[in-house]
Structure formats: C-alpha cells, structure tokens
Amino acid sequence: MTDKLALFGGSPIIKFKFNRYNSIGKDEIRAVNKVMKTGVLSDYLGVWGKNFFGGPKVQQFENICKKFFKVKHAIAVNSWTSGLTTAVGAIDIEPGDEIIVSPWTMSATATSILHWNAIPVFADIEPNTFCLDPQSVEKVITPYTKAIMSVDIFGQSADMDSLLKIAKRHNLKIISDAAQSPGSYYKKKYTGTLADIGGFSFNYHKHINTGEGGILVTNSDKLANRMRLIRNHAEAVVKDKGESNLTNMVGHNYRMGEIEAAIGIEQLKKLKKIVLKRQKMINKLSKGINNLKGIQIPQIRKYCTHSFYSYPILINSKLLKVSRKKICKALLKEGVPGLGLGYTNLHLLPMYQKKIAFGSKGFPWTIAHRKISYKKGICPVAERLHDFDLFNVVLCLYEYGSKEVDGVIKAFNKVWKNLNHLR
C-alpha cells in the first residue's frame, strides 16, 4: 500500500538525503588563500595604537557591515556570545542590576547578563511570533531594571515600536539579539538596528557564517567606543587612551581574526540572495501545508519580513487527537530531517532553578536587590508552547530547494492522511 506510513513499514516519501547547508564557495576560498599568503592571520595588539582596532580585513569587514546595515558603527567579534557579553558591559551595567530577557533563546543571551554579575529577569513571549511580549516586559520592570534584551527569534523582529516606548518611559537601554534574523526588516529597517545595540551571529549554521563570529551594530559613538574597549583588553588601554570611565573595563579577547573577516566580506555579499531564496521556498512550503487540519504556519508581523532561520509551526494536538511526538516520529520516518519539539525555557535550567552560577553560594543572586523567582509558571505562554504546541522544522542545517520542499510537503500530507493510524 503506497500510502502506508513508513513508521509502520511503508515506503518513505523522501528517499534522498538532504545536503548540509553550506553558504561557502569559491569566493571565500579565494579570499582565505589571499590572507594566508600574507601571513597576517590577526593584526590586533592589546595596547593603544593603530593595531588596537585589528587588521585590514577586520576593519574592511566592519566598514562593509556598517554600510550594509546602515548604521554608524559595526564592531566585529569572535563569536556572538562574545558580542552579547560586550554589549551588556558597554551599557554601564552594575552588579545586581536587572535585565529583562526572553526565555526562548540560546543560553548565552541570558548568561551574558550573568557575566557582569547582573540578574536576568525572564518575561514571557508572544504566542504567534515567539518574540518577547511587551505587555509581559512591562509587568516585570522594577526600579532595578536597567535594560531589555530583546530576541528576534527564528528570523523576524520583536515588536520594536512597543519595546522602544517602554524603554523610553522607564529610561532603559535595549539590546537586540538578532542572531537568527539577519537580512529581515522591521518597517524598512534591518532587524537588529533599531535598538541601542544590536547584532548578528556568524556561526556555522546561520544564514551566513565565518565558522564562528559576530557583528555588533550601534548608532551611538559612546557605546561603540566602550564595545571596542571591552573587545580588546580594555584595562591595558584606558590609561594611554585617556579613558576616564573605568566601569566594566575588564580584559577580554573577543577579537575576530583576518581569515574570518575575509570570509565575512564575501558572505555578506550573498545575504540578500540567501534570504530571498529561503523566503521563496518557505512561501511554497506554507502553501503546501497551510490547509492541513490543526496546523498554524508561521505568522509574520505586520510591516516585517521573515528570514526563516527555522520554520516554527503550531500543532493543535487536542484537535488532531495525536501527540506532537507521534507526528514527529512519522515525519522523520518519511524522510523529513531536523525536526524539533518545542524550543527552550531558560528559566527552568538548573542554573536558574538552583541559582548557582559563580561559585557554589548563589552568586550573583546573593547581591540581587530583591528575591527573583524562576519557578515554573512565570512564562506560561513559553512553557505551553514548549511542552505542547510548537513543532519546529530546522531549516538552518539543510539545503532547501524545490525538490526538498516538495518532499516535505508530500510527507506532511501523507502523515495527515494517516492521522487515524497514529491515534
């Protein structure tokens, strides 16, 4: 029987292997070879002078990013984790200060706050876009709140108009973690560029990559200056530079190398084309599965575009009378790769449940201005979506062309035809 699910011994819809996503080509290889021939793989020095800002490729990459994203400053770093840590330090955060953050993000977003002995406070997410919910943010603001860490999850921007109004009303800074959404727009401006500080990840499974790496963007001269200092052994530089503000001038090596920068220059040329291709493929995928019972395809915010780092679907298991887990198993057997159930809830990780980070005595929560709760239930939307509703097609790990999308559409339709056999 051709319609028999592969889970029960039938023939799978997809009989080919999906290729790993790869945005690297001949141009990047050529650029790397040129750097290798110079012998200059890094040109930083941790002292004040011309080498403080890195080598020619790093500076070229920063200038290209600055023009591309239409910002005043772009600062390259060796990872986006380094970028987030740099951003938090640059806003003059003090130990015990609170920063509001989403629970639906990579763990580094929140630990970049802990790095400076500040306190992450988790606000809930919107049920359809999965970005930070401005109403939830408003509810958790206290006199100790100093900033909002917004996350542009899965490929589209948070509600920046609302968050900027809240920040202005309470005199807060905003940092945009746009790691997953380079190339998408919020009201004709690039995602990640509306905050005090924003930025993007260039690690291997992002839209464009340098292996590891990231770029910080800002229109503030002051913040740019502080981020460059934090990136490169600030404490050794401030005296000769004549820097008077010593807050968070702690030594780090967050410097991007010349090879990564050379790759980044070539990768950035491809970003628009990569995003457009992915949008085209996802439009086709959405049309192919949108009419299936109990599915909600990704919702795109008005005046925004989506770059689709992944393809988050909501599954109504109660309506279908089949669990997400069973549906996932059936689709995997039909050959659909990279499926995930839920996403994450950072506040439920052991670090936050036990409040143990630096040492074993509860620091930095021991210096918090008030008791912070990370109990289950503080982010009900995020928790429900993770536990029951979200079904994530991980696009970022695989090449998606027409053949792959057609296969996924057919696999979904076959599984839905056989839902009664999964019950």
Does residue 1 belong to any structural domain of this protein?
no
Using the 3D structure, point to which of 248, 269, 290 is the last residue of a domain: 269
Say whether pLDDT at 1 is over 70.
no
Same domain, 33 and 118: yes
Same domain, 36 and 179: yes
Same domain, 11 and 74: no
Give the domain CATH number at 168: 3.40.640.10
Structurally, how many domains does the chain consist of? 2
pLDDT (average), residues 110-136: 98
Same domain, 260 and 280: no
Same domain, 92 and 145: yes
pLDDT (average), residues 104-121: 97
Same domain, 40 and 173: yes
Q: Which pLDDT tens digit goes with each residue over 143-169?
A: 999 999 999 999 999 999 999 999 999
Per-residue pLDDT, 2:
60
Say whether pLDDT at 360 is over 90.
yes
Per-residue pLDDT, 423:
87
Give the domain CATH number at 396: 3.90.1150.10
Q: Which pLDDT tens digit goes with each residue over 44-57?
A: 999 999 999 999 99
Same domain, 148 and 255: yes
The SS3 of residue 317 is helix
Same domain, 278 and 197: no
Beta bridge partners of 398: 20
Per-residue pLDDT, 3:
87
Does residue 21 belong to any structural domain of this protein?
no
* % of the chain surpassing 70 pLDDT: 100
C-alpha–C-alpha distance, residues 136 and 122, integer Å? 9
Same domain, 141 and 240: yes
Domain of 36 in residue numbering reads as 26-269
Does residue 117 belong to any structural domain of this protein?
yes
Q: 365-390 as b/e, with b when 16 or more CB fall inside 10 Å?
A: beebeeebebeeebbebbbebbebbb
Say whether pLDDT at 320 is over 80.
yes
Does residue 357 belong to any structural domain of this protein?
no
Q: Which pLDDT tens digit goes with each residue over 160-212?
A: 999 999 999 999 999 999 999 999 999 999 999 999 999 999 999 999 999 99
Does residue 304 belong to any structural domain of this protein?
yes
